[in-house]
Amino acid sequence: MISADVPDIIIGRLPVYLRALNLLLEEGREIIASQELADKLGISSAQIRKDLSHFGEFGKQGTGYEIKYLREQLRKILKVDRELDVALVGAGDLGHAIAHHGNFDRNGFHIVAVFDHNPQKIGANMGRFQILGSESMPTVIQEMGIQLAIIAVPADSAQQVADILIKAGVRAILSYAPITLNVPSKVRVQYIDPVVHLQRMTYYL
Amino acid sequence: MISADVPDIIIGRLPVYLRALNLLLEEGREIIASQELADKLGISSAQIRKDLSHFGEFGKQGTGYEIKYLREQLRKILKVDRELDVALVGAGDLGHAIAHHGNFDRNGFHIVAVFDHNPQKIGANMGRFQILGSESMPTVIQEMGIQLAIIAVPADSAQQVADILIKAGVRAILSYAPITLNVPSKVRVQYIDPVVHLQRMTYYL
């Protein structure tokens, strides 16, 4: 696998390919032509072939992609062919919705610890989770070797939470807080801010 | 404003600049050097200056950006200097969380109609909203002239919902459904799928 210097933008498309292949498998499909996959995703088939060519030969001229095989390869490339533990920080409404989002478990992402700093929430149950106090974050994350975290706290405490997570060993953060986090270059961050997403479209109205 | 052919990737960064300026204003700041803004956002100051240069001259050499002025200009460029009506489709857990996400109203995005196809939900209240039946979507959206919609329905009904929305006049869709939508080129779509966001980072672990 020749993957050392694949551009981020290509890596960013692979989960979208994977998602489409998962859906096709659920529909009972076995083979898909690159053109049909391209039409489904609104991406050119040349782009898909070029993206995948960074990692090997996956399709056959004339027959298309063997869906199950390509799916397994993408899962390996993205390192999601294993179970991954995730810490969730913030047990408010948003944290609650995230903790109960079934798609995480289905895709191998298991929320294994939920933290909050509100004394009234600590020790309480949120679904199948017992909410832990923020002060236990460093120990729990280190002991469990958690590398992935989701931040669902307000903007004004997100940076502090990120600093603690990273110090404890977290390497990738999905942040719902509407603020850009300052992190060392070895740490990855992805943001979900629906306002930013909407504002990316209003320009074109 | 010279904006006809500004690359999408630049437009995509403007809401992030705007968000940072909003936070700075809340902190009582008036001026920011492009280097400080760059450090906050993890983007080079040259990139910020280049991005903004597509729309005019906003900073002064040596003094930096006047925050309030730049914020107003960005709001105009992004067309968020006005109140915008938004339709929400899907009144499940996710729809509920979205409808109560305070940041929308604060940023001028007003959810004005919530739709669901579940007969047990139609007519019920979800916070300040009375849930409308899906069959009223075309009429309500057309009559209210709604151009923005948020889709929070399962993957298997998202395309059908999108088709109805677009036919009724919606021009921009924020979709939480884990599927790529097929839309005409005049329609913009942004996706929020936390699993895809996580999978964009696991590669680097």
Amino acid B23: pLDDT: 93
Residues A92 and A70 in one domain: no
- Taking an 8 Å cut-off on Cβ atoms, the answer to whether A203 and B79 are in contact is yes
Residues B59 and B145 in one domain: no
What the block records as the tokens of A9 is 């933008």
Mean pLDDT across B134-154:
97
Chain B nearest C-alpha distance from A197 (Å): 6
- Taking an 8 Å cut-off on Cβ atoms, the answer to whether A202 and B41 are in contact is no
Asked whether residue A15 is domain-assigned, the answer is: yes
Alpha carbon distance B198, B186 (integer Å): 29
Residues A15 and A34 in one domain: yes
Residues A131 and A102 in one domain: yes
Residues B73 and B88 in one domain: no
Residues from chain A that touch B190, judged by Cβ atoms under 8 A, are: 197-198, 200-201
Residue B205 touches partner A, C-beta closer than 8 Å: yes
Residues A168 and A133 in one domain: yes
* Cross-strand bridge partners of residue A84: A109
* Cross-strand bridge partners of residue A59: A65
What spatial distance separates the first Cα and last Cα of chain B, rounded to whole Å? 43
R_g (Cα) of chain B, nearest Å: 19
Residue A7 touches partner B, C-beta closer than 8 Å: no
Q: What does DSSP assign to residue A156?
A: H
Q: Which domain holds residue A151?
A: 84-197
Residues B96 and B176 in one domain: yes
Residues A44 and A110 in one domain: no
- Taking an 8 Å cut-off on Cβ atoms, the answer to whether A178 and B20 are in contact is no
Among A35, A61, A77, identify where a domain stops. A77
Residues A140 and A56 in one domain: no
Torsion angles phi and psi, residue B85, rounded to 5: -85, 140
CATH number, domain containing residue B48: 1.10.10.10
Residues from chain A that touch B170, judged by Cβ atoms under 8 A, are: none
Among B22, B54, B77, identify where a domain stops. B77
Considering its fold, how many domains does chain A have in total? Answer: 2
Using CB atoms within 10 Å of the CB of residue B31, give its burial: 0 to 12 exposed, 13 to 18 middle, 19+ buried: middle
CATH number, domain containing residue A172: 3.40.50.720
Q: How far from the centroid of its chain's Cα atoms is residue A7's Cα?
A: 18
Torsion of the alpha carbons at B141, B146, B148 and B149, rounded to the nearest 10 = -20
Torsion of the alpha carbons at A144, A146, A149 and A152, rounded to the nearest 10 = 10
Q: What tens digit of pLDDT does each residue of B67-99 get? A: 999 999 999 999 999 999 999 999 998 898 899
pTM above 0.95, yes or no: no
Element (H, E) at A149: strand A148-151
- Taking an 8 Å cut-off on Cβ atoms, the answer to whether A195 and B14 are in contact is no
What are the mean pLDDT values of chain A's consecutive 10-residue runs (205 residues total)? 75 96 95 94 94 88 89 96 97 89 91 96 92 97 98 95 98 97 96 96 95
Among B56, B77, B98, identify where a domain stops. B77
Residues B16 and B91 in one domain: no
Q: What is the ipTM of this complex?
A: 0.94
Residues A130 and A190 in one domain: yes
Residues B90 and B190 in one domain: yes
